[in-house]
């Protein structure tokens, strides 16, 4: 079975359906390129009109799974990409997460493979991180949930080989994985690639950032020559264009004109806070919004200490960091999705690609290392067309970074105050009134409980001669409990701080963050150089160093600076002020064993 077809032999029906998209897709100067507007996604549970998806000619099993997911109509990237991929064309797409790009490639591939009975995998999807691999594999699984015997397997580092090997031994249609682990399985012969007829490179720019270029090229060279190639990337630097030129055959090119509409759904705010007041400020923020929150911190140690502090304040919290085994991380994300956990404290690496629709607030507790990290963090909210809020904590030293961040993201980040006692107490009061009101509405729904309540009321009136207002007051008292309802801690520091910060001038603004070449610009003041005793003689390459550092510590690939490999040692620029625990881990790092 092959997925590849000649695009010139378009059937008239297919041509027609493509032309019908013309109102949305603007064909630009050169033949293949389609530039499209990004739009918020629409989801409707229950009352689903899947007409938009009917145009693609998908099998009923796929339409059913889309109906279950509540997708109303295809997103612009899906409208543009699906017809091309159904024809077997190669595709070069510029799209970020949140645009529906995963379904754009997954749906046509599932459609083509839904009758596949052969044992070996037909499609390989490569992603930069294990989090994205899991997420993409989950998407394939949910879109194929109604297609019988369709199998997707995820293979990535940091987990046991055995379960992956046994999954690869059985029938598999799609393999999703990270470059290092894919290479390992190919070398060991545990991943049979001779029947692969489609390769998808997802978040290709991120893979390049992490130094995976050589690995990707090695993998492509191992795969059968005649295959469909799909390349998605959030940005289109020349390196990506070069890969496209080298490996893609007359690809359809689709570019999202602007992703502004998605980020516009996220209201971006910042507050000034001194280091020693950060935890208190966080607790105060959570008084106003504590359902579906991600808090980003820089070190693993901080994730646990903050989570503990929040738990002690009565929140349901979980931690997501690189020390936590993969299956436990998946479990945590699942519990967050289902609402068993409301708050997640995470490091950047562990939360990469996290896609949970109910996230309403992202707190940047520690300032992000760069613009990309910030954009990724805030993108964890505002998912699937919903609105969201992002709050950035800024201390005196980080003020100029804030201005640079605003410049480089071309966004005005609005200043807010740390909630004072007055604000919090008003909110508590409002919540109490709402809760009592909601409970008065809800009690009609359960007849059994209603009878019980009437019984209790009668009892109180007869036995204790209580009147209605007495009973109501006692019930509210019961809800409040015996702890003091209002906050009355000293909050004078909040008022003082807001005044001091407002009066300070914004001198020393520089544009380091605006410059996209982070590695060179950050070098002088934000980086320290570390020497490692492995080098060219050990066969070490840049990608090996980056993946070892990322896998063994909480350091994000993007925050690694310049890497120089000499014959018997290597110099790596890493962020200044790394935590002692991280430094200890760096000392024990192994590269290629
Ligand atoms: P992605 O860009 O693939 O990371 O997808 C972002 C989010 O959009 C995911 O939560 C998807 O489940 C959701 N999504 C994808 N396609 C659609 C669609 N046509 N309608 C509504 N939601 C969608």
Residue 261 has pLDDT above 70, yes or no: no
Residue 273 has pLDDT above 80, yes or no: yes
Q: What is the pLDDT of residues 78-117, one digit of tens each?
A: 999 999 999 999 999 998 777 889 999 999 999 999 888 8
Indicate whether this model's pTM tops 0.85: no
Between 15-24, 173-182, 199-208, 566-575, the lowest mean confidence (pLDDT) is in 15-24
Q: Are 316 and 385 in contact (CB under 8 A)?
A: no
Residue 193 has pLDDT above 90, yes or no: yes
Q: State the Cα torsion 580-568-184-543 to the nearest 10°.
A: 60
Q: CA 86 to CA 93: how far, in whole Å?
A: 15
Beta bridge partners of 295: 345, 363
Q: What is the DSSP letter of 87?
A: T
Q: What is the bridge-based pairing of β-strands 570-575 and 527-532?
A: antiparallel
> Ligand 1: does its nearest atom lie under 6 Å from the Cβ of 284?
no
Superfamily the domain 27-258 falls into: P-loop containing nucleotide triphosphate hydrolases (3.40.50.300)
Q: Are 405 and 413 in contact (CB under 8 A)?
A: yes
Position 74 scores a pLDDT of 92
Q: Are 274 and 497 in contact (CB under 8 A)?
A: yes
The CATH code of the domain at 523-593 is 3.30.70.330
Q: Which atom of ligand 1 is nearest to the CA of 357?
A: 10
Neighbours of 461 (CB within 10 A): 14
Q: Which atom of ligand 1 is nearest to the CA of 355?
A: 10
- State the distance from the centre of ligand 1 to the C-alpha of 129, rounded, in angstroms: 19
Q: How far is CA 141 from CA 117, 217, 459, in A?
A: 17, 27, 55
Q: Extract the tokens encoding 504.
A: 């300070």
Q: What is the bridge-based pairing of β-strands 33-36 and 26-27?
A: antiparallel
Residue 511 has pLDDT above 60, yes or no: no
- State the distance from the centre of ligand 1 to the C-alpha of 71, rounded, in angstroms: 8
Position 5 scores a pLDDT of 39
Residue 429 has pLDDT above 70, yes or no: yes
Ligand 1, residues 39, 359, 384: which to mutate, most atoms within 8 A of Cβ?
384
> Ligand 1: does its nearest atom lie under 6 Å from the Cβ of 93?
no
Q: What is the DSSP letter of 547?
A: H
Q: What whole-number percentage of the chain has pLDDT above 90? A: 44
> Ligand 1: does its nearest atom lie under 6 Å from the Cβ of 79?
no
Position 224 scores a pLDDT of 97
Residue 29 has pLDDT above 60, yes or no: no
Q: How far is CA 169 from CA 192, 202, 268, 442, in A?
A: 9, 25, 48, 53
> Ligand 1: does its nearest atom lie under 6 Å from the Cβ of 131?
no
Q: CA 254 to CA 78: how far, in whole Å?
A: 10
Q: CA 543 to CA 357: how far, in whole Å?
A: 33
Q: What is the pLDDT of residues 372-419, one digit of tens each?
A: 889 889 989 887 667 789 999 999 888 888 988 888 787 889 999 999
Q: Are 173 and 148 in contact (CB under 8 A)?
A: no
Q: Are 296 and 354 in contact (CB under 8 A)?
A: no
Q: Which atom of ligand 1 is nearest to the CA of 139?
A: 12
Ligand 1, residues 70, 99, 103, 141: which to mutate, most atoms within 8 A of Cβ?
103
Position 35 scores a pLDDT of 63
Q: CA 284 to CA 142: how far, in whole Å?
A: 38
Q: Extract the tokens encoding 506.
A: 């914004």
Position 264 scores a pLDDT of 61
> Ligand 1: does its nearest atom lie under 6 Å from the Cβ of 384?
yes
Q: What are the DSSP calls for 321-381, one per residue?
A: -TTS-HHHHHHHHHHHHHTS--EEEE-TTTTTT---TT--EEEESS--SSHHHHHHHHTTS
Mean pLDDT of 458-467: 90
Ligand 1, residues 39, 78, 102: which to mutate, most atoms within 8 A of Cβ?
102
Q: What is the pLDDT of residues 329-377, one digit of tens each?
A: 889 999 999 999 999 999 988 888 788 888 999 999 999 988 888 988 9
**CA angle (586, 592, 593) in 5-degree steps:** 75
Q: What is the average pLDDT score of the chain?
A: 82
> Ligand 1: does its nearest atom lie under 6 Å from the Cβ of 96?
no
> Ligand 1: does its nearest atom lie under 6 Å from the Cβ of 102?
yes
Reported as a pLDDT band with limits 50, 70 and 90, residue 34 is low
Q: CA 54 to CA 50: how far, in whole Å?
A: 6
Reported as a pLDDT band with limits 50, 70 and 90, residue 161 is very high
Q: What is the pLDDT of residues 219-243, one digit of tens each?
A: 999 999 999 999 999 888 888 999 9
Q: Residue 278, Cα to own-chain centre: how many angstroms?
A: 25
Same fold, 27-258 and 261-419: yes
Look at 559 and 319; give whichever has higher pLDDT. Answer: 319
Q: Extract the tokens encoding 583.
A: 């430094």
Task: Classify 255 as helix, strand or coil.
Answer: strand
Position 154 scores a pLDDT of 96
- State the distance from the centre of ligand 1 to the C-alpha of 452, rounded, in angstroms: 45
**CA angle (314, 319, 323) in 5-degree steps:** 150
> Ligand 1: does its nearest atom lie under 6 Å from the Cβ of 383?
yes
Domain residue spans in the chain? 27-258, 261-419, 423-480, 523-593
For ligand 1, atom 6, which residue shows the shortest CA distance? Answer: 98
Q: CA 359 to CA 236: how far, in whole Å?
A: 29
Position 308 scores a pLDDT of 96
Dihedral sign, Cα of residue 355, residue 360, residue 363, residue 364: positive
Neighbours of 547 (CB within 10 A): 23
Q: How far is CA 510 from CA 402, 458, 506, in A?
A: 10, 72, 10
Q: Which atom of ligand 1 is nearest to the CA of 102?
A: 3
Among 423, 424, 417, residue whose Cα is nearest residue 498:
417
Superfamily the domain 261-419 falls into: P-loop containing nucleotide triphosphate hydrolases (3.40.50.300)
Q: Specify the length of the chain in residues.
A: 593
Q: CA 358 to CA 342: how far, in whole Å?
A: 9
Beta bridge partners of 471: none
Position 517 scores a pLDDT of 34
Look at 30 and 182; give whichever has higher pLDDT. Answer: 182
Task: Classify 152 as helix, strand or coil.
Answer: strand
- State the distance from the centre of ligand 1 to the C-alpha of 279, rounded, in angstroms: 34
- State the distance from the centre of ligand 1 to the C-alpha of 101, rounded, in angstroms: 7
Q: What are the DSSP calls for 51-114, one per residue?
A: HHHHTTT--HHHHHHHHHHTB-S--HHHHHHHHHHHTT--EEEE--TTSSHHHHHHHHHHHHHT
**Residues contacting 213, CB < 8 A, separation 6+:** 207, 239, 243, 543
Look at 153 and 450; give whichever has higher pLDDT. Answer: 153
Position 526 scores a pLDDT of 65
Phi, psi of 313 (to 5 degrees): -90, 5
Q: What is the pLDDT of residues 519-562, one digit of tens each?
A: 333 334 567 889 898 888 888 888 888 888 887 887 877 678 88
Burial class of residue 106 (count of CB atoms within 10 Å of its CB; 0-12, 13-18, 19+): buried
**CA angle (382, 354, 138) in 5-degree steps:** 115
Among 37, 66, 61, residue whose Cα is nearest residue 112:
61
Q: What whole-number percentage of the chain has pLDDT above 70? A: 83
Residue 577 has pLDDT above 60, yes or no: yes
> Ligand 1: does its nearest atom lie under 6 Å from the Cβ of 76?
no
Q: Residue 258, Cα to own-chain centre: how many angstroms?
A: 19
Among 92, 70, 71, residue whose Cα is nearest residue 81:
92
Q: Extract the tokens encoding 200.
A: 């998808």
Q: Are 412 and 384 in contact (CB under 8 A)?
A: no
């Amino acid at each position: 079975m092959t997925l590849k077809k000649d695009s010139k032999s378009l059937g008239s029906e297919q041509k027609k359906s493509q032309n019908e998209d013309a109102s949305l897709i603007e064909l630009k100067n050169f033949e293949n390129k389609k530039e499209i507007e990004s739009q918020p996604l629409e989801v409707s549970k229950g009352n689903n009109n899947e007409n938009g998806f009917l145009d693609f000619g998908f099998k009923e099993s796929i339409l059913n799974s889309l109906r279950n997911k509540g997708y109303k109509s295809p997103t612009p990237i899906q409208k543009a990409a699906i017809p091309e991929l159904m024809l077997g064309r190669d595709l070069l797409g510029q799209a970020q997460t949140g645009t529906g790009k995963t379904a754009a490639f997954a749906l046509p591939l599932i459609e083509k493979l839904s009758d596949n009975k052969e044992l070996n995998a037909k499609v390989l999807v490569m992603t930069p991180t294990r989090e994205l691999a899991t997420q993409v594999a989950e998407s394939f699984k949910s879109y194929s949930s109604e297609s019988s015997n369709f199998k997707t397997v995820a293979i990535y580092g940091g987990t046991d080989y055995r379960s992956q090997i046994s999954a690869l031994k059985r029938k598999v249609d799609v393999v999703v994985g990270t470059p290092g682990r894919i290479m390992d399985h190919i070398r060991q012969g545990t991943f049979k690639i001779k029947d692969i007829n489609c390769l998808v490179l997802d978040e290709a720019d991120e893979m390049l950032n992490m130094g995976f270029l050589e690995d990707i090229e090695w993998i492509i060279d191992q795969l059968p020559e005649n295959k469909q190639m799909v390349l998605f990337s959030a940005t289109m630097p020349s390196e990506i264009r070069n890969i496209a030129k080298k490996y893609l055959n007359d690809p359809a090119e689709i570019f999202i004109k602007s992703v502004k509409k998605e980020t516009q759904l996220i209201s971006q705010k910042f507050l000034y806070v001194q280091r020693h007041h950060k935890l208190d400020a966080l607790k105060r923020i959570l008084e106003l919004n504590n359902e579906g929150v991600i808090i980003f911190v820089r070190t693993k140690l901080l994730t646990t200490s903050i989570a503990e502090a929040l738990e002690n304040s009565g929140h349901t919290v979980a931690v997501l960091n690189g020390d936590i085994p993969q299956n436990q991380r998946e479990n945590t994300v699942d519990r967050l999705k289902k609402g068993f956990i409301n708050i997640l404290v995470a490091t950047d690496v562990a939360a990469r690609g996290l896609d949970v629709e109910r996230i309403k607030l992202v707190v940047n507790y520690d300032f992000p290392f760069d613009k990309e990290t910030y954009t990724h963090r805030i993108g964890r909210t505002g998912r699937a067309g919903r609105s969201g809020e992002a709050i950035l904590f800024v201390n005196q030293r980080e003020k100029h970074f804030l201005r640079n961040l605003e410049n480089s993201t071309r966004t005005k980040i609005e200043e807010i105050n740390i909630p004072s006692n007055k604000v919090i107490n008003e909110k508590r009061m409002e919540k109490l009134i709402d809760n009592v009101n909601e409970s008065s509405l809800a009690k009609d729904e359960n007849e059994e409980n209603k009878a019980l309540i009437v019984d209790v009321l009668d009892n109180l009136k007869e036995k204790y001669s209580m009147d209605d207002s007495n009973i109501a007051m006692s019930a509210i008292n019961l809800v409040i409990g015996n702890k003091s309802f209002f906050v009355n801690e000293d909050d004078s520091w909040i008022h003082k701080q807001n005044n001091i910060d407002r009066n300070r001038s914004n001198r020393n603004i520089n544009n380091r963050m605006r410059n996209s070449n982070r590695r060179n610009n950050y070098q002088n003041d934000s980086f320290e150089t570390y020497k490692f005793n492995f080098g060219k003689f050990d066969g070490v390459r840049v990608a090996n160093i980056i993946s070892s550092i990322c896998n063994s510590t909480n350091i994000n690939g993007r925050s690694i600076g310049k890497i120089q490999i000499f014959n018997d040692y290597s110099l790596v620029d890493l962020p200044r002020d790394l935590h002692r625990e991280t430094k200890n881990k760096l000392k024990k790092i192994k590269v290629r064993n």
